[in-house]
Amino acid sequence: MIFKETSLKDAFTVQIEKIEDNRGYFATTFAIPDFEAHGLNAQIRQTSSSFNKTKGTIRGMHFQLPPYAETKLVRCVRGAIYDVIVDLRPNSPTFKKWQGFELSESNMLMYYIPEGFAHGYQTLTDNAEVAYMLGQIYSPQHARGIRHDDEEIGIKWTLPLAEISQRDAALPSLKELMEVEAVMRG
Residue 36 has pLDDT above 50, yes or no: yes
- Looking at residue 186, its pLDDT comes to 44
Catalytic residue among 25, 111, 132, 148: 132
**What confidence category does residue 185 fall into, taking pLDDT thresholds of 50, 70 and 90?**
low
Integer Cα distance of 98 and 9 in angstroms = 11
Q: Annotated catalytic, 121?
A: no
CA 140 to chain centre: 17
Give mean pLDDT, residues 145-170.
97
Residue 109 has pLDDT above 50, yes or no: yes
Residue 183 has pLDDT above 60, yes or no: no
Give mean pLDDT, residues 49-67.
96
List of domains in the chain: 43-185 (2.60.120.10)
Catalytic residue among 62, 112, 119, 148: 62
Residue 182 has pLDDT above 80, yes or no: no
Q: Annotated catalytic, 38?
A: no
| CA–CA–CA angle 86, 95, 15 (5° rounding) | 45
